[in-house]
Amino acid sequence: MFPTKRLEGKNILVGITGGIAAYKSCELIRYLVTQGAHVRAMMTANGEKFISRLTIESLCNYPVYTEMFPEGRYAATHHIELADWAEAVIIIPATANIIGKMANGIGDDFLSTNLLALHCPTVFAPAMNSNMWLNPAVQRNIATLKNWGYGICDPEEGFLAEGYSGVGRLARLEYQVQHLYRAIHPHPESLKGKTVLITAGGTREHIDPVRMLTNRATGKMGFALAWEAFARGAEVILVHGPGSLIPPVEVESHGVVSAAEMFDTVQRHFPRADLFISAAAVADYTPARYSTSKIKKEEQGLTLKLERTRDVLKTMSQQKKAHQRVIGFAVETDNPLENARKKLIDKNLDMIALNNPSEAGAGFGVDTNKVTVMTRDDARELTPGYKLDVAGEIFDRLLGTGEGGRDD
Ligand SMILES: Cc1cc2nc3c(=O)[nH]c(=O)nc-3n(C[C@H](O)[C@H](O)[C@H](O)COP(=O)(O)O)c2cc1C
């Protein structure tokens, strides 16, 4: 899960309705609290049957709102006070009932009335039995909410509480957060209508059926860029090497293994891209010969002949049309600025993001990065921080949507 500074100090309202997945809202609240968000919750009477108010109050460290007419606490605006406080809302789980009420303007309890009064981005995370989800009435209501601009974090296919598999399981935490991240984004339309092609992770060059050459890249930076592009309204195509990260939802993801596959997949999708960001650590060399059987251990050692792989970034840059921009990443340990500038010019890039993996808090596997972005006439050190926030600043620099760091 990506940590981010963007949730710090944000007022997030979590609405819990009466579904079996209500217990999963705890995990989301926990994540939001650890990111520094102010979290308040409202529950329906049926929601309270599935999870206790005490649990939610303990996690939020704030009383839960449930009643429309609470004894001794009545104020003329009580029914809409949370709606005025919230900067983003997520209904998790969202029952078929609350989706239907919202699509028809019904406010017959505290939660539904507040939803009608809300004037901030709102996400529904539906969870229900597959037959309920596929019911035309529910599908029509979902389509109505989507059409009105509500975020819908679609349920997943999998094992249901009823004991069989189908579509209807609450979307996993990563997807909930991805939607919420988009809901709070300061520039949610800045890539609307654009297609962004991103590569992430390392590649594997097989020597024989059990051995390979690879590198330390995990894909975190590239995946963070994909989250960021999604949050800014882009169509995102993510080409990623093997790894344990969960590909983002509503992103066209293509898993590849070798540098050759990475090249072919990028080549196939590049014509659709307005922006190509190459964050993958693609192998520069691959074994000249693949052995179909395991190479025997010999006393005299083994000499491997390696040959160059095709240069993804340079080739795409050569094919670039006037509307396309190509951005590279450079990992440099020696003379970083000089080498990154050379790469920028040699490969005719529009921008290069330089990081030095030997610096603390930067590089492979970690959640944070320290990046300097360079264009032909500018070099700017971005605020060191979480990869998701660094990804935000990279897009700010590209699109001119923010401060994007300080001048060198
Ligand atoms: C054991 C049980 C589990 C339920 N699970 C769900 C569910 O996952 N999704 C759903 O939409 N409704 C589910 N329901 C039905 C809702 O609780 C019911 O529609 C209720 O009216 C929802 O109220 P609310 O939307 O005000 O919370 C379940 C009911 C029971 C008894």
CATH of domain 11-183: 3.40.50.1950
Per this entry, what is the length of the chain?
A: 408
Cα Dmax for the chain = 87
Q: In angstroms, what is the span from residue 130 Cα to ligand 1's centroid?
A: 13
Ligand 1 pocket check for 17: Cβ under 6 Å = yes
Q: In angstroms, what is the span from residue 248 Cα to ligand 1's centroid?
A: 28
Ligand 1 pocket check for 127: Cβ under 6 Å = yes
**pLDDT for position 75:** 60
* Selection from 222, 228, 152 nearest residue 191 by Cα: 228
| Neighbouring C-beta atoms of residue 136, cutoff 10 Å | 7
Q: Give me the residue label for tokens 């330089």.
A: 354
Ligand 1 pocket check for 18: Cβ under 6 Å = yes
Ligand 1 pocket check for 141: Cβ under 6 Å = no
* Selection from 220, 219, 256, 253 nearest residue 236 by Cα: 253
**Which residues belong to CATH 3.40.50.1950 in the chain?**
11-183
Query: Which ligand 1 atom sits closest to the C-alpha of 97?
Result: 25
Tell which one of 95, 102, 104, 110 to mutate to probe ligand 1, the residue whose CB is within 8 A of the most ligand atoms: 95
Q: What is the pLDDT of residues 195-215, one digit of tens each?
A: 999 999 999 999 999 999 999
- Please state, in angstroms and as integers, the Cα–Cα distance from residue 158 to each residue in 125, 129, 130, 255, 380, following that order: 15, 11, 10, 21, 46
- Return the active site residues: 215
Tell which one of 23, 46, 156 to mutate to probe ligand 1, the residue whose CB is within 8 A of the most ligand atoms: 46
**pLDDT for position 176:** 97
Report the DSSP pairing between strands 285-287 and 275-278.
unpaired
Tell which one of 20, 50, 109, 169 to mutate to probe ligand 1, the residue whose CB is within 8 A of the most ligand atoms: 20
DSSP string of 151-189, one letter each residue: EE-PPEEEE-TTSSEEEEEPPPHHHHHHHHHHHT-S-TT
Query: Which ligand 1 atom sits closest to the C-alpha of 99?
Result: 25
Ligand 1 pocket check for 221: Cβ under 6 Å = no
Q: Which DSSP letter does residue 337 get? A: H
State both tokens at 196.
């962004």
Ligand 1 pocket check for 92: Cβ under 6 Å = no
Q: Count Cβ atoms within 10 A of the Cβ of residue 114 and give its class: 0-12 exposed, 13-18 middle, 19 or more buried.
A: buried
Ligand 1 pocket check for 97: Cβ under 6 Å = yes
Ligand 1 pocket check for 98: Cβ under 6 Å = yes
**Which residues belong to CATH 3.40.50.10300 in the chain?**
195-407
> Which protein residue's CA is at the shortest distance from atom 5 of ligand 1?
19
What are the residue ranges in the chain where pLDDT is below 50? 404-408
**pLDDT for position 403:** 63
Q: What is the pLDDT of residues 372-391, one digit of tens each?
A: 999 998 899 999 999 999 99
**pLDDT for position 406:** 41
Cα 314 from chain centroid (whole Å) = 27
**pLDDT for position 88:** 97
Q: Which DSSP letter does residue 7 get? A: T
Query: Which ligand 1 atom sits closest to the C-alpha of 18?
Result: 27
Tell which one of 43, 50, 97 to mutate to probe ligand 1, the residue whose CB is within 8 A of the most ligand atoms: 97
What is the topology classification, in CATH, of domain 195-407?
Rossmann fold (3.40.50)
Global confidence as pTM? 0.93
Q: In angstroms, what is the span from residue 124 Cα to ligand 1's centroid?
A: 15
